[in-house]
Amino acid sequence: MAMQLDISDIGTRENRLGSITGYVGDLKDLANQSNCGSLKGGVRCFSQSSTCLSGCALGQLSGIRDVAVIHHGPAGCSVTGAQIYTVTKQVAKKRGVVNNTVYIGTDMSEEDTIFGAGDSLHDIVVETNRRYKPKAIFVSSSCATGIIGEDIDSIVAELKDEIDVPIAAIHCEGFKSRIWASGFDLSDHAVLTTIVKEPKQKRNKINFKNFYESARDDIIALFKNFDVEPVFLYANATVEELSHISESLATVCICGTLGNYLGNGLEEKYGVPYIRTINPLGVVGFETWLREIGKTIHKETEVEQYIQAERIKYLPQIEEVKKELKGLRAVLGMGPGYTFEVSRVLQELGMEVVWAAAWHYDKRYENGEIPPAMDYLLKNTPNFEVSVADQQNFEILNILNTYKPDLYLSRHPGSTVWAIKQGYPAVYVADEYMIFGYKRTLEFAHTVLDTIRNRSFEKNLAKMVKLPYTDWWYKQKLDLFLEKTK
Amino acid sequence: MSKVTENPRGNCVLGGINAVLGAIDRACPIFHAGPGCCMQTSAGESGQAGGKTPFFVSSVSIPSSNMLEKEVVFGGEDKLRSTIQGAIEVIDAKAYFVLTGCTAGIIGDDIVSVVDEFRAKDLPVYAIETPGFAGNSDYGYETVFKVFLDQIVEKERPKQKNLVNLLGIIPNHDPCWSGNFEELTRILNKLGLEVNTFFTQHQGMEEIKNSGAAALNIIVNPWLLKDAAEQYETDFGVPSLRIVGLPIGATDTTAFIRQVAVVLELDTVRVEAVIAEEEEYVYNYLETAIGVLSWKRFAVVGDSNMAIGLTRYLANDYSFTPLLIILTEPMFREEDKERIRNRLTSLEYAKAPTILFESDQYHIAKALAENEEITLLIGSTNEREIGLQKDIQCSVIFFPITDRLIFNRTYAGYRGSLTLTEDLYDNL
């Protein structure tokens, strides 16, 4: 399906990619149902807190250097701005750059929900531009502005005549989608439609879509072997850098869920190849990914030399630690961009995946194909049990109680907290680069070992903690509250 | 009316409500709201109040109807009903509180009727009808007290002469809330009083129900709970004593004790003995560290309760010079601002400090940048950067704090003033 890069709002993942958030079954069944088109996804009649797409959309955009994000909504929607402000400034400091991005809340009130606040929004944008002189302005809606029908598109269109920097409307009505990752697509869409310019000349650069560029120095060094430079997106990227990403040799990403929209958009509109392999986590993932980059930028020989040299350095050490990990049983709960990748890596390291929970599942990506990580698992690993849930902590703790694994892994801190309270050692895969390449795969294996070998904290804590769940719930089947959609 | 606010410090009503409920033993909030409201407000309140999360349910474990387009169009009452039913089955709570998000508020879902169906079956489910956009998190705190007073506090309880309700410290918002409660409770216990905090030492529904039996509300806050104080008086005959700012250090804590003692007609001999013992404890330590902390001209940025206590301690007890006090929570009544100004100008100094009421980080940063005399800045994580730019000592003790972990640390009372002084030295 062609992407619609000429309008300000885009469909949600549910509509564009057939994505779901409710499923209990196994890997093969999920894939079969996806292929034959029968996968519908269930809806929960009881649920716990999910997350809305605004955090993903505005978190990404507010990482860009020297821009203004204006969140038009009540105070609660924009309060995490203070955290993003702190993180981006800290990361910038580490890199030795200054990030003057601001996060503005409009503090919408009861009166505004009745009479609208379009005029004040106009003035707020003008005042923001005057105060901070940002290089771009992103104006976001919220649930409240969406329901009262505030027309941010028209307000932004008018402002384009008054303000001489790129300005975009971001449609962040939280009720739009069950899938918070739809917010990543919204941020990519805004960048593609308002900041990226037509290419003038090819540059020796590779677009690298990531979250917080923690492996920045390593990746710069890695790509130097192949005479290319990475452009990290979006944390601390400048608007000027972003305007040229159409001139890069390729786009790669650390997480398929994060990079899919931008990668496909740049390929479709400007012919920048998007590397669609499994992700560079673990040995197989890293090598597959790197070889595809080599092929795309015509550096196959250099890539092969690099791989051979690194293999000699790291593979013996990885083989050694694998002996100790063999047979350990793991449960995972992560976004789909990581669940199916990390499932692969755990098996690569000799561990058994007893249950993988994905926070959502994309039946296919923007190019119409099923996600590569899923494809790889179907062809290469034994079947295992899978659920799809927008977090739903009660389901995770039920799974842990039923399967009693050696380890729980999650990419959401709140999720590991509850596993630990229930007495399970947990690894919080916080850094997106935690399992990137040979060296970090080895370090990750050691982290797993450290985590399961010392369980004193979890054991002692679990004895003292009163968990919120009833005994009744632990005896129920996981899909009790899941209703099939008609 | 919408306005520009850089880095909003407060939260919406839901944030305040969720923060308070999170501190009640085995209380379960149920969000009738969009999918992001619970995470945003959890991250925004307890998530920025010193690194702790509420102990029973928090963020990902809180039930939420996660309202989507279907509910926006057709109404969300069915979804709410099944969410409450599920919560009762899955969550082992003593009470369930239904919160109203903007979406539910604007489309006009009748949450009271849905909740009444459960109340008819004697289930402890309570409706909180105030939607997110109705105000900020301070208003959320007051809203919860309105719910307590309208729906939970029991009338027929026998009066207890030595029981007090200690109010005004906002749980999961004030980073030192539990420690502050603990220190003030310790002092009041020494006077022979029993203390309802509702939020510490696994207090909860029973203490709230019984709060009408108290002899006195002690409201440690310069402006919040005005309506609650009136309702406690008229509906339950409980009078209130307002303490204008958190007592920190010997001067204000002793004054606090004497105020309580007068109202409750406590035994003077006992009261004076407690004061003497506590003051001696504090000064015994202070005399061992004379001059380790050089004299400072200071600025304070934060909520009024703590800002008053801190300013008064540093000026009255520690002889530092107050220059600029910025009160960051939105306040609407002029009488409240006047009370706060008075409290901040009736202290020891050569020249009165400048007092600003300002929530917008842009204006806060500007006011701090313009004052070149400041040598000590006490604020939130938001002010750290400004401290670095000005190259002056900066201590982070106000909400939002995202770079410190705080369990039971307190700056309140006698002992808290010592911790505060330690922390200033720790961050030279």
Reported as a single tens digit per residue, the pLDDT across A251-298 is 999 998 999 999 999 999 999 999 999 999 999 999 999 999 999 999
Q: What is the pLDDT of residue A10?
A: 87
Q: What is the pLDDT of residue A81?
A: 63
Averaged pLDDT for residues B333-345 = 97
Distances (CA, A) of A224 to A275, B117, B142, B363: 18, 67, 59, 45
Judge whether A325 and A445 are in contact, CB under 8 Å. Answer: yes
**Min Cα–Cα distance to chain A from B54, Å:** 11
Q: What is the pLDDT of residue B134?
A: 92
**Is residue B212 located within the same domain as residue B299?**
no
Which band of pLDDT confidence, cut at 50, 70 and 90, is reported for residue B127?
very high
**Is residue A189 located within the same domain as residue A223?**
no
**Is residue B17 located within the same domain as residue B148?**
yes
Residues of B in contact with A472 (CB under 8 A): 89-90
Kindly tell me if the per-residue pLDDT of A407 is higher than 90: yes
Task: Locate A330 and state its tokens.
Answer: 């793991």
Reported ipTM: the value is 0.95
SS3 category, A387:
strand
Judge whether A476 and A46 are in contact, CB under 8 Å. Answer: no
**Is residue A469 located within the same domain as residue A420?**
yes
Q: What is the pLDDT of residues A79-129, one digit of tens each?
A: 766 666 677 777 888 889 999 999 998 988 888 888 888 889 999 999 999
Query: Shortest CB distance from B5 goes to which of A54, A105, A176?
Result: A105
Residues of A in contact with B6 (CB under 8 A): 102-104
Chain A interface disruption, residue of B133, B380, B384, most A CBs within 10 A = B133
Judge whether A426 and A451 are in contact, CB under 8 Å. Answer: yes
Q: What is the pLDDT of residue B317?
A: 95
For chain B, the straight-line distance linking the first and the last C-alpha, in angstroms and rounded, comes to 41
**Is residue B44 located within the same domain as residue B119?**
yes
Averaged pLDDT for residues B144-148 = 98
Burial class of residue A484 (count of CB atoms within 10 Å of its CB; 0-12, 13-18, 19+): exposed
Question: B388: nearest CA in chain A?
Answer: A93
**Is residue B170 located within the same domain as residue B218?**
yes
Q: What is the pLDDT of residues A18-66, one digit of tens each?
A: 899 999 999 999 998 888 888 888 999 999 999 999 989 999 999 999 9
**Is residue A377 located within the same domain as residue A295?**
no
> Residue B226: what are its φ and ψ, rounded to 5°?
-60, -50
**Is residue B64 located within the same domain as residue B106?**
yes
Q: In this structure, what CATH number is given to the domain that contains residue B69?
A: 3.40.50.1980
> What percentage of chain B carries pLDDT values higher than 70?
100
**Is residue B87 located within the same domain as residue B191?**
no
Overall domain count for chain A: 3
Q: Is residue A316 included in any domain, yes or no?
A: no
Preceding omega of A314 cis (within 30 degrees of 0)? no
CA pseudo-torsion sign A329, A331, A336, A337: negative
Q: Is residue B20 included in any domain, yes or no?
A: yes
> Residue B21: what are its φ and ψ, rounded to 5°?
-60, -35
Q: Which of B259, B285, B311 delimits the end of a domain?
A: B285
List the Cα angle B84/B89/B92 in 5-degree steps.
100
Q: Give the strands of the sheet with A68-71, arranged side by side.
A: A167-170, A137-140, A68-71, A102-105, B5-6
Q: Is residue B118 included in any domain, yes or no?
A: yes
Q: In this structure, what CATH number is given to the domain that contains residue A283?
A: 3.40.50.1980
Task: Locate A452 and state its tokens.
Answer: 């399961």
Q: A75 and B10 in contact by Cβ < 8 A?
A: yes
Q: Give the strands of the sheet with A352-358, arranged side by side.
A: A23-26, A385-388, A352-358, A329-334, A407-410, A426-428
**Is residue B253 located within the same domain as residue B297?**
no
Residues A243, A195: Cα–Cα separation, whole Å = 5
Q: A177 and B68 in contact by Cβ < 8 A?
A: yes
Q: Is residue B37 included in any domain, yes or no?
A: yes
**Is residue B249 located within the same domain as residue B265?**
yes
Q: Is residue A11 included in any domain, yes or no?
A: no
Q: Is residue B5 included in any domain, yes or no?
A: no
Q: Is residue A251 included in any domain, yes or no?
A: yes
Q: Which of A194, A229, A246 delimits the end of a domain?
A: A194
Q: Give the strands of the sheet with B125-131, arranged side by side.
A: B27-32, B95-100, B125-131
Q: B66 and A147 in contact by Cβ < 8 A?
A: no
**Is residue A385 located within the same domain as residue A471?**
yes
**Is residue B109 located within the same domain as residue B142?**
yes
**Is residue A115 located within the same domain as residue A147?**
yes
Residues A211, A199: Cα–Cα separation, whole Å = 25
Q: What is the mean pLDDT of chain B?
A: 95
Q: What is the pLDDT of residue B6?
A: 84
Q: What is the pLDDT of residue B1?
A: 55
* DSSP, res B391: T
Residues A184, A55: Cα–Cα separation, whole Å = 9
With CA atoms as reference, report the closest residue to A159 among A68, A280, A250, A292: A68
In the beta sheet, which residues pair with residue A352? A329
Q: What is the pLDDT of residues B248-299, one digit of tens each?
A: 999 999 999 999 999 999 999 999 999 999 999 999 999 999 888 889 999 9
Strand residue runs (E) in A298-406: 329-334, 352-358, 385-388
Residues B106, B116: Cα–Cα separation, whole Å = 21
Strand residue runs (E) in A210-361: 229-233, 250-253, 329-334, 352-358
Strand residue runs (E) in B58-162: 95-100, 125-131
Query: What is the rounded radius of gyration, in angstroms, for the C-alpha atoms of chain A?
Result: 23
Q: B60 and A54 in contact by Cβ < 8 A?
A: no
**Min Cα–Cα distance to chain B from A375, Å:** 30
Judge whether B191 and B262 are in contact, CB under 8 Å. Answer: no
Query: In this complex, how many residue pairs, one in chain A and one in chain B, have their CB atoms less than 8 Å apart?
Result: 250
Q: Is residue A30 included in any domain, yes or no?
A: no
Residues A228, A221: Cα–Cα separation, whole Å = 10
Q: Is residue A28 included in any domain, yes or no?
A: no
What is the helix, strand, coil percentage profile of chain B, to 5?
Answer: 50, 15, 35
Q: Is residue A7 included in any domain, yes or no?
A: no
* DSSP, res B159: P
HEC assignment per residue over B49-66: ECCCCCCCCCHHHCEECC
Residues B75, B101: Cα–Cα separation, whole Å = 13
| Chain A touched by B44 (CB under 8 Å) | yes
Residues A77, B15: Cα–Cα separation, whole Å = 10
With CA atoms as reference, report the closest residue to B19 among B193, B137, B119: B137
Burial class of residue B225 (count of CB atoms within 10 Å of its CB; 0-12, 13-18, 19+): buried
Q: How far is CA B138 from the centre of its chain?
A: 8
**Is residue A142 located within the same domain as residue A290?**
no
Overall domain count for chain B: 3
Task: Locate A219 and state its tokens.
Answer: 């990746």
Q: What is the pLDDT of residue B331?
A: 92
| Chain A touched by B288 (CB under 8 Å) | no
With CA atoms as reference, report the closest residue to B136 among B221, B304, B14, B303: B14
**Is residue A257 located within the same domain as residue A340?**
no
Residues of A in contact with B27 (CB under 8 A): none
List the Cα angle B188/B194/B199 in 5-degree steps.
90
Residues A277, A290: Cα–Cα separation, whole Å = 9
Q: What is the pLDDT of residues B92-101, one digit of tens each?
A: 999 999 999 9
**Is residue B374 located within the same domain as residue B316?**
yes
What is the helix, strand, coil percentage profile of chain A, to 5?
Answer: 50, 15, 35
Q: Which of B125, B152, B179 delimits the end of a domain?
A: B152
Q: A174 and B71 in contact by Cβ < 8 A?
A: no
Burial class of residue A462 (count of CB atoms within 10 Å of its CB; 0-12, 13-18, 19+): middle
SS3 category, B166:
strand
Higher pLDDT, B426 or A277: A277
**Is residue A185 located within the same domain as residue A215?**
no
**Is residue B57 located within the same domain as residue B81?**
yes
Q: Is residue A200 included in any domain, yes or no?
A: no
SS3 category, B292:
coil
**Is residue A134 located within the same domain as residue A229?**
no
For chain A, the straight-line distance linking the first and the last C-alpha, in angstroms and rounded, comes to 25
**Is residue A121 located within the same domain as residue A233?**
no
Task: Locate B348 and state its tokens.
Answer: 């020891």
Q: What is the pLDDT of residues A228-238, one digit of tens each?
A: 999 999 999 99
| Chain A touched by B81 (CB under 8 Å) | no
Q: Is residue B241 included in any domain, yes or no?
A: yes
Kindly tell me if the per-residue pLDDT of A184 is higher than 60: yes
Task: Locate B184 and state its tokens.
Answer: 């003030």
Burial class of residue B338 (count of CB atoms within 10 Å of its CB; 0-12, 13-18, 19+): exposed
Q: A175 and B69 in contact by Cβ < 8 A?
A: yes
SS3 category, A82:
helix
With CA atoms as reference, report the closest residue to A411 among A467, A359, A459: A359
> Kind and range of the H or E element at B378?
strand B376-379
Q: What is the pLDDT of residue A485?
A: 64
Query: Shortest CB distance from A52 goes to which of B9, B36, B47?
Result: B36
**Is residue B275 located within the same domain as residue B178?**
yes
Judge whether B275 and B250 are in contact, CB under 8 Å. Answer: no
Range of the domain at B130: 13-152
Q: What is the pLDDT of residue A36?
A: 82
Q: Is residue A5 included in any domain, yes or no?
A: no
**Is residue A171 located within the same domain as residue A227?**
no
Range of the domain at A159: 48-194
> What percentage of chain B carries pLDDT values higher than 90?
89
Q: Is residue B299 included in any domain, yes or no?
A: yes
Kindly tell me if the per-residue pLDDT of A484 is higher than 90: no
**Is residue A360 located within the same domain as residue A283?**
no
